[in-house]
């Protein structure tokens, strides 16, 4: 099979059967286009012609590029190539996997940065008016407040929040979230976030909806269309500037803060794993390192021989 056809088949597989997110599929497509071009430049057009030596040479050349690529980018590139060849073996298109001896680059251990509770409150206040305040003519402010409240209250990914439908909130104090691979999970919603969303639904969304063609999506843009990931990022950036938060603040920052604050409050790591939608508890355990400072403070203040 030609390499370009093999890549097309693999991309269809991860899109339709595995249900990967659009931006993930787009990243794999870019990576594999570069891989196929690199092989084509060396006269390799068929999947049967790919050898472990070629795969190793490709990985080494990419790792030695200038400027030096990030370890995370190299890891994703190698994941794309490995995924392609494993798929070809599973489908019986090739007999051997030339990536078996490919070793992914070692990623640096980076602890996620979380906001303090005070910083989160400043961010929320900067996003828009609190429920119950004068909100006449401030549809965008009500929407932005509800969006940021929901991101922090649930720890959901920004892609998950912008895909929410109004009916996903129909169960009162819980939210139905569709995560990676179209897996659904149920996440509780606190009273503050629920009040902000209710205010948005009652006083802002009807107005926004009249400007568009009609959609079930919960969050709408100013023209009535579903709010995009990019627009949600922009909402958060404006709120961060309004709150005078100099550190980089992204939707993932709120996800990190959600997990960190839960663990600092005594939540079990497996409960946090379920709330975040992590497939493995090992992914969630990185947040336990963030709470070490809080543990030290408690220890220092409580243990008679801590000082």
Whether residue 304 is predicted with pLDDT greater than 60 in this model: the reply is yes
pLDDT at residue 109 tops 60: no
pLDDT tens digits, one per residue of 258-295? 988 888 888 888 888 888 888 777 777 767 665 555 55
Give the count of domains, the chain: 2
Q: How much is the mean pLDDT over the chain?
A: 86
Domain of residue 178, residue span: 118-244
- Are both 72 and 137 inside the same structural domain? no
Please tell me which residue in 30, 42, 90, 252 is annotated as part of the active site.
252
Give catalytic status of residue 85 as yes or no: no
Q: Does the active-site annotation cover 270?
A: no
34 and 130 together in one domain: no
Catalytic, 252? Answer: yes
pLDDT-derived band at 301, boundaries 50, 70, 90: low
Tell me: do 232 and 122 sit in the same domain. yes
Is 194 catalytic? The answer is no
73 in any annotated domain: yes
Q: Among the options 145, 157, 194, 217, which is catalytic?
A: 157
Active-site residue identified among 143, 178, 255, 261? 255
**What string of H, E and C letters represents the secondary structure of the chain?**
CEHHHHHHHHHHHHHHHCCCCHHHHHHHHHHHHHHHHHHHHCCCCEHHHCCHHHHHHHHHHHHCCCCCCCHHHHHHHHHHHHHHHHHHHHCCCCCCCCCCCCCCCCCCCCCCCCCCHHHHHHHHHHHCCCCCCCCCCCHHHHHHHHHHHHHHHHCCCHHHHHCCEHHHHCCCCEEEEECHHHCEEEEECCHHHHHHHHHHHHHCHHHHHCCCCCCCECCECCCCCECCHHHHHHHHHHHHHHCCCCCCCCHHHHHHHHHHHHHHCCCCHHHHHHHHCCCCHHHHCHHHHHCHHHHHHHHHHHCCCCC
User: Which has more confidence, 248 or 257?
Assistant: 257
Residue 278 a catalytic site member:
yes
Identify the pLDDT of residue 110: 61
Domain co-membership, 237 together with 178: yes
pLDDT in tens, 156-181: 989 999 999 999 887 778 888 887 76
180 and 232 inside one domain: yes
Q: Do 33 and 69 lie in a common domain?
A: yes
User: What integer is the mean pLDDT of 114-125?
Assistant: 92
Instruction: Please tell me which residue in 76, 180, 185, 229 is annotated as part of the active site.
Output: 180
Give the per-residue pLDDT at 17.
Answer: 82
């Amino acid at each position: 099979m030609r390499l370009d056809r093999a890549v097309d088949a693999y991309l269809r597989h991860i899109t339709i059967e595995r249900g990967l997110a659009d931006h993930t599929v787009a990243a794999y497509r870019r990576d594999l286009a570069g891989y196929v071009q690199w092989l084509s430049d060396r006269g390799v057009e068929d999947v049967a012609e790919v050898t472990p030596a070629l795969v190793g040479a490709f990985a080494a050349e990419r790792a030695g590029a200038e400027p030096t690529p990030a370890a995370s980018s190299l890891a994703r590139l190698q994941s794309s190539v490995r995924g392609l060849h494993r798929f070809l073996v599973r489908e019986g298109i090739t007999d051997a996997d030339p990536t078996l001896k490919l070793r992914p680059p070692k990623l640096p251990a980076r602890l996620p940065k979380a906001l303090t509770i005070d910083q989160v409150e400043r961010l929320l206040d900067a996003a828009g008016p609190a429920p119950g305040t004068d909100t006449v003519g401030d549809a965008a402010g009500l929407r932005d407040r509800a969006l940021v409240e929901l991101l922090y209250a649930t720890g959901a990914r920004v892609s998950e929040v912008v895909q929410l439908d109004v009916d996903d909130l129909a169960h009162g104090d819980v939210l139905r979230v569709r995560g990676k691979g179209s897996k659904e999970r149920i996440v509780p919603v606190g009273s503050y976030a629920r009040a902000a969303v209710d205010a948005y639904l009652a006083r802002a969304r009807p107005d926004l909806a009249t400007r568009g063609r009609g959609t079930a999506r919960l969050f709408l843009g100013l023209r009535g269309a579903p709010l995009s990931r990019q627009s949600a990022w922009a909402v958060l950036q404006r709120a961060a500037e309004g709150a005078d938060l100099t550190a980089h603040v992204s939707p993932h920052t709120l996800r990190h803060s959600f997990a960190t604050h839960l663990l600092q409050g005594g939540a079990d790591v497996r409960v946090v794993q379920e709330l975040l939608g992590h497939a493995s508890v090992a992914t969630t355990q990185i947040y336990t390192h963030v709470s070490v400072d809080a543990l030290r403070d408690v220890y220092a203040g409580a243990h008679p021989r801590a000082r």
